[in-house]
Amino acid sequence: MQLLVIGDLHLGRDQWQPEIPEAWNAFDAILLVGDVVDTGANSFSGISDFYDSIGDLNPSTISIPGNHDYQSHTETIANISGIIDGHATKVQVGNATIGGLGSTLFDEGPEVRGRLLREYSPSLSLVEQIADATASGISDDGATFDKKALQWFQDRFANLSELQLGTADRPRVLLTHVPAYGTTGAALDSHPRHSGPVSWGSLALRRYIEETPLDLHVCGHIHEQAGQDTIGETVTVNAGYRQGFSIDLSTSGVGSVDPVAIQPRSDLR
């Protein structure tokens, strides 16, 4: 089967709107990784145009919320034909099982910050490190690791586990907005909340993928890092910003992963 994964579009940030080629109806499913809509841009007319057009073209379009549109996502796609809300649920498309978990807050990224994030050691379990930081009350760079950090980690891991992808039909696909910690798709040279280079991905997601036999993980959020990586046997793809990827998927795993250019609408150029 062929999947089209579309990265963060941030409609309403400017007047840009994507062209939706007729050829996209040949894909078995289209996956939207979140942040289709920019923060506070719900009145932008291009939003309904986009969702209506892509839903009419391909009725297997699965959308999840990103950190910019998590508050409006459900209402925005309600009653739009062909658009499936993939947040916190599984969807069967052909032989593939696609589980989705979008964002539920704006400050998306790693569940812990500061010293613990810089000193993350793969030799220790993430839960142990977070728990140790919680117990010792580590405070560094203005970030305090308290019970909230541990709870966020545990909640996200539990929400991912509730998808029960590990026992679903294959191929198995996980659709999230945030990338997994430690992948190239999460790498940043710097971040306002962190000094120096950092992986701005979810630690809970990383642990879940390490422990769950998946074929493919797709995400967005970090605009600068579109591309492919692996976690164990799982291929993970960050779809980037206003671009996409065509992914060949079968019961034996991921085949080709090819970039897809998303052009601006010709009538608006």
Domain residue ranges of the chain, discontinuous segments joined by +:
2-268
Give residue-wise pLDDT tens across range 123-181.
556 656 666 665 565 554 444 555 677 788 889 999 999 999 999 999 999 999 999 98
Say what the pLDDT of residue 148 is.
76
Plot region of 109 (φ>0 → left; ψ -120 to 50 → alpha; else → beta) = left
| Residue 247 burial by Cβ neighbours in a 10 Å radius (0-12, 13-18, 19+) | buried
Say what the pLDDT of residue 130 is.
65
Closest CA to 178 of 214, 146, 147, 223: 223
Peptide bond into 192 cis (omega under 30): no
Structure-block tokens of residue 181: 């910690």
pLDDT greater than 70 at residue 56: yes
Say what the pLDDT of residue 122 is.
54
Say what the pLDDT of residue 142 is.
45
Residues 6+ apart with CB under 8 A from 227: 184, 185, 237, 238, 240
Of all helices (H) and strands (E), which one includes residue 130? helix 126-136
Give residue-wise pLDDT tens across range 117-127.
666 555 556 65
| Residue 22 burial by Cβ neighbours in a 10 Å radius (0-12, 13-18, 19+) | exposed
pLDDT greater than 70 at residue 29: yes
pLDDT greater than 70 at residue 26: yes
Domain 2-268: assigned CATH number = 3.60.21.10
The phi, psi pair for 113, rounded to 5°, reads: -130, 175
Q: Which residue has the higher pLDDT, 258 or 190?
A: 258
